[in-house]
Amino acid sequence: MMLLAFDIICDVGFSADTHSMKRHRKSLQQCVRVDSENSAENVNWFETMEAIISTTGLDIRNILPFWMQQHLVKRAATAVFIKQRSKLYKLVDDIIKVKRASAEKGDKNAKADLMSFLIAGDGSVDGLTDNELRSNVITFIVAGHETTAVSLAWCFYSLAKEQSVQARLRDEIRVALSSKTGERLTYTEIEGMEYLNCVTKEILRLYPAAALVPRESINADVLGGYQIPPNTTIMLAPWVTHRSGDWDQPLKFIPERWIGWSGPSGVKRLSYMPFSSGPKMCIGHRLATLEMKCALIDAVNKFELKLLPGFVVKEKLRVTLRPEPSMTLLVSEIP
């Protein structure tokens, strides 16, 4: 799942064909050549990112709450980390150079991606600097692959446990695909698949990838009888909120609970927040949800998922809510 989500965010973010899934079969000996006259270096994208992870001991690099920053400072200043980070910066800078050149030429055949939109801006103010673009690209990678991959792992696990849900979802998928003659489903058609929407919502309720979300108080306040001074970091816990008694049978995987659901309101408006909430909620939540749905459509249509006998998995809270040990399922192709 990591490789799939990694390939998707690199393609959508800046049109990089990483092919991590294919090259993973060769012990991750994949590398990406940037289409630039000045770039002669092949950079192994996935191994570079994984090396940064391993040397810091973290799952996600640059979007860390304050309580993890000290850990990063202690362990990040290693030769391996600096070398891999330099590789990544070099590759991203080359991509920015190519994208800027394409924008200046007005290349109408250039592929639309997130970086192209960032470079174009809205014309109202000066555009982003190269350093700002680089930071955004790295954020795309960091926030855009592990969270989605973890959510998909929990989704396939839940479907393997609940065969009736898997069968009902497969029926809906095949009805939707039967109306297409070799064409892909459109965004509107995917969003119109009610049970698929229910399944993704229920997975994100039970297993929000970001189980803890930091926020900072602006003014003094009182929460649950506790005095909260200004500028205090508060940790929100969607994983706890989503499993509270506000929900009917909160610990059970019941996609049907979302049928006809139009969203919480009033005091319960924050009872469901897998991507946080408010003006600083995850900017990529629609993309992440769409990725999940597309992966489910393809996988559930073609394969049957079953639990591996004796396999026991637990939730391990790191920066994301990971399965421990790594998810292992029985997968068989449907004739």
| Domain assignment of residue 83, yes or no | no
Average pLDDT over residues 205-214: 87
Between 304 and 41, name the one with better pLDDT.
304
pLDDT at residue 275 tops 90 = no
The dihedral through the CA atoms of 292, 293, 294, 295 has a sign that is positive
The rounded mean pLDDT for the chain is: 78
Residue 31 belongs to some domain of the structure:
no
Q: Rounded CA gap, 199 and 191, in Å? A: 12
Q: pLDDT-based confidence at 125, cuts 50/70/90?
A: low
Cα separation, 335 vs 326, in Å, equals 28
Report residue 276's pLDDT band, with 50, 70 and 90 as the boundaries. Answer: confident
Residue 203: which CATH number?
1.10.630.10
Q: Is 198 annotated as a binding residue?
A: no
C-beta separation of 240 from 208 below 8 A: no
Longest dimension (CA), the chain: 63
- H-type alpha helices, 162-284: 163-178, 187-191, 194-206, 238-241
Of 3-12, 19-28, 54-63, 272-281, minimum mean pLDDT range: 54-63
Q: What is the mean pLDDT of residues 126-136?
A: 82
Q: Token pair of 37, please?
A: 């006259």
How many C-alpha atoms does 148 have within 13 Å on its Cβ side?
29
Q: What domain range includes position 193?
A: 152-298
Burial classification of residue 188, based on how many CB atoms lie within 10 Å of its CB (0-12 exposed, 13-18 middle, 19 or more buried): exposed
Residue 96 vs residues 11, 66, 207, 301, 310: alpha-carbon distances, Å: 14, 30, 35, 38, 49
Host H or E run for residue 324: strand 321-324
Is pLDDT larger for residue 77 or for residue 81?
Answer: 81
pLDDT given at position 269: 72
pLDDT above 70 (res 40): no
Tokens in use for 175? Answer: 């009805």
Inside any domain, residue 180: yes
User: b/e per residue, 127-137, with b = 16+ CB within 10 A?
Assistant: ebeeeebbebb
Strand 321-324, strand 314-317: pairing: antiparallel
Neighbours of 98 (CB within 10 A): 20
Q: Is the pLDDT of residue 265 over 60?
A: yes
Task: Return the higher-pLDDT residue of 114 and 304.
Answer: 304
Assess contact for 281 and 275: CB atoms under 8 A: yes
Question: Is 101 inside a domain boundary?
Answer: no
Proportion of the chain above pLDDT 90, given as a percent: 30
Provide DSSP, 231-263. Answer: T-EEEE-HHHHTTSTTSSSTTS--GGGGTT---
Mean pLDDT, residues 243-266 = 86
Contact 137, 95 (CB under 8 A): yes
Residue bearing the bigger pLDDT, 139 or 308: 308
Dump pLDDT digits (tens) for 143-193.
777 778 888 999 999 999 999 999 999 999 999 999 877 778 999 999 999
DSSP state, 14? H
| 192 assigned to some structural domain | yes
Report the number of distinct structural domains present in the chain: 1
CB-neighbour burial class of residue 283 (10 A; exposed 0-12, middle 13-18, buried 19+) = exposed
Answer yes or no: is 79 within a domain: no
Q: At what angle do helices 2-14 and 130-161 cross, to 10 degrees?
A: 140
Spatial CB neighbours of 60, under 8 Å, sequence gap ≥ 6: 142, 143, 146, 319, 320
Residue whose C-alpha is closest to residue 3's, from 15, 22, 27, 20:
20
Residue 258: inside a domain, yes or no?
yes
Neighbours of 28 (CB within 10 A): 15
Q: Is residue 133 part of a domain?
A: no
Q: What percent of the chain has pLDDT over 70?
A: 76
Q: What pTM was estimated for this model as a whole?
A: 0.74
Please say whether the beta carbons of 53 and 59 come within 8 A: yes
